[in-house]
Structure 1
Amino acid sequence: MNSLKALTVIFMFFFSLVTFSSGDLIVDVCRTSSNFKVCVNTLRADPKSPSADKKSLVRILLQQCLAKTKSIYNEVANLLEQAKEHVLIQCLQICKENYDLAIDDATTAIKDFDANDFFGAKISASAVITGPDTCEESFTEPPIRTSPIKSKSEDLMNFVDLTLSLVNQFSN
């Protein structure tokens, strides 16, 4: 009877040392992100996620930052080709240049992350936000124009913020 009590106490002790885990790494990783739902949906949509470890999941998010940035860059390039108004052309040119720089920053963030330079990855990923931010700012200067990509720029900035919240876990 005493051995049963001892086993119970030992079991309870070890059980109390185990950190809570849902058994779903995607949920566990995204729980600490700035946007749980977007994080989970993005990772579940990637076919590499089910077999990925925590670092690989964050890398997938960094790759999505790059893909989203390239997509917006391409949209800006198309809009620029169609634009007729001088002010709109100027704003879109600023956007194109800044999204081009953001693509470089996102690419560098992935390279740094792969090299375990988490501080560098954090700096480069943070710099991605400058692209859409500067782009949108150009539309607020007189004469004010409505940005045709405002919602996509805002979505990208929020997505980069989400990704940074997870990259930061590696740099501490």
Structure 2
Amino acid sequence: MTTTRTGSRVHRVSLHPLPPFIIIFSLSQAKPTQANPEEEGSSIQPTKLVDEVCHSTSSYSLCVESLCTDPRTPSADRYVLAYISFRLAFLNASSTQDHIAKLLKHTEAKAKAKAKANTGPTQQVLRRCYHDYNKAVSALSSAYNDLNSETFSDLVDWAGAASLAADDCQVVVKTTYPPLSTMNLDLKRLCEICVAVSKLFT
């Protein structure tokens, strides 16, 4: 469903369905950070609004490339851009939580096959991270609900809560599972974009 704005009214947009290309998008596979979109190798021309938002993040090019995965970005005002940024973060967190659930199921099956107790470090780490990502998904969902009700005061806090959940997962993951560490970093970067967009309303 497309998000539109008429006068001062923002039309509600559901988090679902979600484009597959957003689900598989990984910030870790994006181009190296560039200081300016006009630098050699950059083919994306961000709008003035996207440029403003992304200059407020720690990785300009990753921010631009993330936002530009959504076809609405070129014509987006701050309201639509907020929907886009929180949607990307929500998708990322949900996808990672699903990935963790599959890993946990796999490790539990292996443990049962070996007649071992299901309390090993690997499972403990995965259970902790699953719980952390449940908090991240919940926070980002709340942010989306706030956008639908045109309530903007808590958006920065919701994005911060989701980012903190990724930090909490990383505390237990450390260097044990590099792919999950990458996913944690991806969510933090997307949440940083959410914070930058949210500050447009303050």
**TM-score normalised according to structure 1 size:** 0.75
Structure 1 vs Structure 2: percent identity of aligned residues?
Answer: 25
Tell me the equivalent position of 2:116. none
Out of 51, 71, 74, the position equivalent to 1:50 is 74
Q: Does 1:127 align with 2:161?
A: yes
Root-mean-square deviation over aligned CA pairs: 2.1
Given that residues 33 and 166 in structure 1 are in contact (C-alpha distance below 8 angstroms), is that contact kept between their aligned partners in structure 2? no
- AA partner of residue 52 (structure 1): A
Q: Does 1:36 align with 2:60?
A: yes
Segments of structure 2 that go 5 or more residues without pairing to the other structure are 1-45, 112-119
Aligned to 2:188: 157
Identify the match of residue 141 of structure 2 among 96, 107, 126.
107
Q: Larger Rg: 1 or 2? A: 1
Query: For 1:59-80, what per-residue CA distance to the aligned partner results, in whole angstroms no more than 9, with x for missing partners?
Result: 2011000000011101101111
Distance 2:168 2:51 in 1: 33
CA distance in 1, matches of 2:137, 2:128: 14
Listed one character per residue, the Cα deviations across residues 80-106 of structure 1 (whole Å, up to 9, x for unaligned) are: 111146110011001111111110101
Aligned residues: 146
For residue 162 of structure 1, what is the amino acid of its counterpart? I
**Structure 1 residues 33 and 55, CA gap change in structure 2 (3 angstroms):** farther
CA contact (8 A) 1:33 1:163 kept: no
Q: 1:91 to 1:26 in 2, by over 3 A?
A: same
More helix by share: 1
Residue 146 of structure 1: which of 158, 176, 198 is its match?
176
Answer yes or no: is the 8 Å Cα contact 1:34–1:162 preserved in 2.
no
- Are 2:200 and 1:169 equivalent residues in the alignment? yes
Give the Cα–Cα distance (whole angstroms) in 2 for the partners of residues 23 and 91 of structure 1. 41
Q: Name which of structure 1's ranges 23-32 and 158-167 shifts more when overlaid on structure 2.
A: 23-32
SS where residue 56 of structure 2 aligns?
A: coil
Q: Which segments of 5 or more consecutive residues in structure 1 lack a partner in the other structure?
A: 1-21
